[in-house]
Amino acid sequence: MTRTESTLPRWVFVMAAVGAGFVLLPLAAMTTRVDWLRFGELITSESSVAAFWLSLKTSGASTLACLILGVPMALVLARTRFPGQGVVRALVLLPLVLPPVVGGIALLYTFGRRGLLGATLEVMGLQIAFSTVAVVIAQTFVALPFLVVSLEGSLRTLGQRYEVVAATLGARPTTILGRVTLPLVLPGLLSGTVLSFARSLGEFGATLTFAGSLQGVTRTLPLEIYLQREVDADAAVALSLVLVAIALAVIGLATRRAQVIR
Amino acid sequence: MTSGSWLRLRATVAERGFDLDLALEAGERLAVLGPNGAGKSTLLGLLAGTVRPDSGRAELGGRVLFDLPARTWQPPHSRGIALLAQDPLLFPHLSVLENVAFGPRVNGLGRAAARARAEHWLSEVDATNLAGRRATELSGGQAQRVAIARALATEPELLLLDEPLAALDVSVAPAIRRLLARVLAGRTTLIVTHDLLDALVLADRALVLDAGSAVEDGPTEQVLQRPRTRFAARLAELNLIRGVAVADGVQAGPDLVLQGMAAEPLTTGEPAVAAFAPSAVSVYLDPPHGSPRNLVAVTVSEVEQRGGIVRVRADDHRGHKLAADVTPRAAAELDLYPGREVVFSLKATAVALYPA
């Protein structure tokens, strides 16, 4: 298919190029500072490896939590109408714009020892604050809106027409969800999942506030990088590069899969 | 109304000014006509279960679909009512065969049995060769064929058609209309349409809705020939010539045989009707020589200027009042005036034949 020539003015291209440079230049600048001779040694130190695995595990768990909670939230927001829906949607999206450190404080006063639910949880023998579970909670809190927004958009674009047809063919609500709705919004669901995984992986402020920084327990890669920067700048740069590589791999994988599905 | 009807619906939807009482016999095919906003979609929604009335009751085959405000409400999936929309809406992530097998599968049929049922219905709509394709690889006409098979594969107790031919190319619509006429025979069906031909070919009975209420109801031809409302009258501008089916068309007089496209097979000797639009008629002063077209000798009774066209009304001396649309220039060149003898000429492809 031939594309129509654009009518964009030339200065738009100039500004777009400046914008692209603004994003890419810092990444390039960082790679020039990598100490390649010690790279392997730096990223395989005991604390780095511990942070790396902790990050993957907690981000995986929080992505799963986002799916379990976020898919129903997106479905309800996209497919029903109820009084105050606009307010509910705005509040659900709040973590998107809230400074993460504020989110961490809010979580502390919910699940912390003196928090709203903390006392009850303690009676049940559960201490959440400053544990690995706290890391997962903090990541889920900040990443959830990404999944909800992305999936709700896909659901609205899809519309309800296929679902109505499936119902008149005799499909029950759960069957429609599993065999029609979710397969048809798979690209949106996938990109939402990737976005929330990436957001979880990069989470810093809420984690530090609510979960602290204990090696192997709550010190994820971003926390480790921040800590190393004080001690050994080379290690911080090397680990940063690892995070960039993971991010690129995740994005590449997701866009490739989305194209296959389309 | 009869109490033993197969379908009985009585419902009001205040918000849309909808108030209707409707009964349908088993095997009856009802065309629902009416201007935009008349309540046609509301009626479909009430039956399919996507619109909840303020009050009313509906029964299908002895089962209660809803009874409000008594709080009885069957959800769409347990109503046994299939819907065929203007858009085929085939599931894009499934193959053609999987689309048709979807209904049987979700209704509890095993994989093999559902597959066999799907293959049966694909052959009924002459689409067996499409079975392995993805739903997104079909043309509009092919997709609608498959959608018909998918709707029928659930063996619905009532079939709802929502302008099933409106989105199709004019070159494809006649074949699909013929297919529908064949597979709908004896099947309780409700067809919402804007097209008179759909009503004539696919339905036994016509209901005209206006502002949420029924304004005309009766056998399709009767509604169209003795229209009591402006909407039905405007629809009825289609020319109808009655006669008897013969080998090559419809015989409407000793020297008049109309050739056309039969929507369903005609039985020779049975009453039949030829239908054509005023815009399909060409007007001549003398019969053109050697023309393969249908020719009808008429006397002009009225010439009426209507925007960019001229509507010529004429009488064929056999009791048929016919109309033709010509350009103002043609009307001037032909010097048309009431009482003038002219010939109406019609291409056979523009004439629809159907059993009366």
CB B272 within 8 A of CB B250: yes
The reply to whether A169 touches chain B by the CB within 8 Å rule is: yes
For A79-97, write each residue's pLDDT tens digit: 999 999 999 999 988 998 8
Q: For chain B, give the number of residues.
A: 356
Q: How many CB atoms lie within 10 A of CB B22?
A: 22
Q: How high is the pLDDT of residue B264?
A: 66
- A169 and B106 within 8 Å at the Cβ level: the answer is yes
The DSSP-derived string for B57-118 is EEEETTEEEEEETTTEE--GGGS-EEEE-SS----TTSBHHHHHHHHHHHTT--HHHHHHHH
How far, in Å, CA of B269 to CA of B244, rounded?
Answer: 6
pLDDT digits (tens, 9 = 90+) for B74-116: 999 999 999 999 999 999 999 999 999 999 999 999 999 999 9
Evaluate whether residue A191 is within a structural domain. Answer: yes
Q: For chain A, what is the radius of gyration of the CA atoms?
A: 22
Q: How far apart are CA B65 and CA B76, in angstroms?
A: 9
> Which residue in the set B50, B87, B103 is minimally distant from A170, CB to CB?
B103
How many structural domains comprise chain A?
Answer: 1
Which strands make up the sheet holding B249-253, listed edge to edge?
B256-258, B249-253, B239-246, B271-276, B352-355, B261-262
Q: Is B49 in contact with A167 (Cβ distance < 8 A)?
A: yes
**Interface mutation target, options B46, B81, B84, B106, chain A, most CBs of A under 10 Å:** B106
Structure tokens at A140: 């889920």
Q: Which one, of B226, B351, B227, lies nearest residue B279 by Cα?
A: B351
Q: What angle separates helix B96-106 from helix B111-124, to the nearest 10 degrees?
A: 120
**Is the pLDDT assigned to residue A260 strictly greater than 60?**
no
Tokens for B293? 């077209």
Sequence-distant (6+) residues with CB within 8 A of B318 are B252, B253, B256
Residue type, B255: D
**Number of helices and strands (H, E) in chain B?**
9, 22
* Total beta-carbon pairs less than 8 A apart between chain A and chain B: 60
Contact residues on chain A for B78, CB-CB shorter than 8 A: 170
Asked, for residue A203, whether it belongs to a domain, the answer is yes
Q: Which residues does residue B191 pair with via DSSP β-bridges, in sequence order?
A: B31, B161
Check CB contact under 8 Å for B102 and A161: no
- Which residues of chain A does B93 touch, with a Cβ-Cβ cutoff of 8 Å? 183-184
The span from the CA of B314 to the CA of B319, in Å, is: 10
Burial A144-183 (b: 16+ CB within 10 A, else e): bbbbbbbbbbbbeebeeebbbbbbbbbbeeebbbebbbeb
> Nearest-CA distance from B60 to chain A in Å?
15
- B80 CB neighbours in chain A (<8 A) are 170
Per-residue pLDDT tens digits for A124-163:
888 888 899 999 999 999 999 999 999 999 999 999 999 9
What confidence tens digit (pLDDT) does each residue in B19-28 have?
A: 999 999 999 9
pLDDT of residue B317: 81
pLDDT band for position A182 (50/70/90)? very high
What's the Rg (C-alpha) of chain B? 23
pLDDT (0 to 100) of residue B238:
77
Domain range holding A211? Answer: 37-261
Contacting residues of B for A167, CB less than 8 Å apart: 48-49, 75-77
Alpha helices in chain A (DSSP H): 10-32, 39-43, 46-79, 85-92, 94-97, 100-111, 118-123, 132-158, 161-168, 173-176, 182-184, 186-202, 205-211, 221-231, 233-261
Question: Domain-by-domain residue ranges, chain B?
Answer: 7-234, 239-355
Calculate what percentage of chain B has a pLDDT beyond 90.
46
Please, what is the angle between helix A233-261 and helix A221-231, to 10°? 150
Where chain B has pLDDT below 70, the residues are 1-4, 225-228, 230, 233-236, 263-264, 290-291, 356
Domain for residue A10, yes or no?
A: no
pTM of the model: 0.78
The pLDDT mean for chain A works out to 91
Rounded-to-integer distance, Cα B349 and Cα B338, Å: 29
If contacts are CB pairs under 8 Å, which of residues 170-209 in chain A contact chain B? Answer: 170-173, 175, 179-180, 183-184
In a domain, A216, yes or no: yes
Beta strand B239-246 pairing with B81-84: unpaired
CB nearest A183 (choices: B50, B75, B93): B93
Are B102 and A172 in contact (CB < 8 Å)? Answer: no
Q: Give the number of C-alpha atoms closer than 13 A to the C-alpha of residue B216, restricted to the C-beta side.
A: 25
Structure tokens that stand for A170 in this block: 């005799």
- H/E element holding B322? strand B321-326
CATH number at residue A102: 1.10.3720.10
Contacts of B123 (CB under 8 A, 6+ apart): none
A126 within some domain: yes
Chain B interface, Cβ < 8 Å to A? 48-50, 75-83, 85, 87, 89, 91-93, 102-103, 106-107, 150-151, 154, 160
pLDDT at position A146: 93
Among B56, B59, B70, B32, smallest CA distance to B163 is for: B32
pLDDT band of A262, cuts 50, 70, 90: very low
CATH classification code of B7-234:
3.40.50.300
How many Cβ atoms sit within 10 Å of the Cβ of residue A81? 6
Question: Does the pLDDT of residue A1 top 60, yes or no?
Answer: no
At the second CATH level, the architecture of B239-355 is: Beta Barrel (2.40)
Sheet holding B72-73, edge to edge: B18-24, B7-13, B55-60, B63-68, B72-73
pLDDT of residue B267: 82
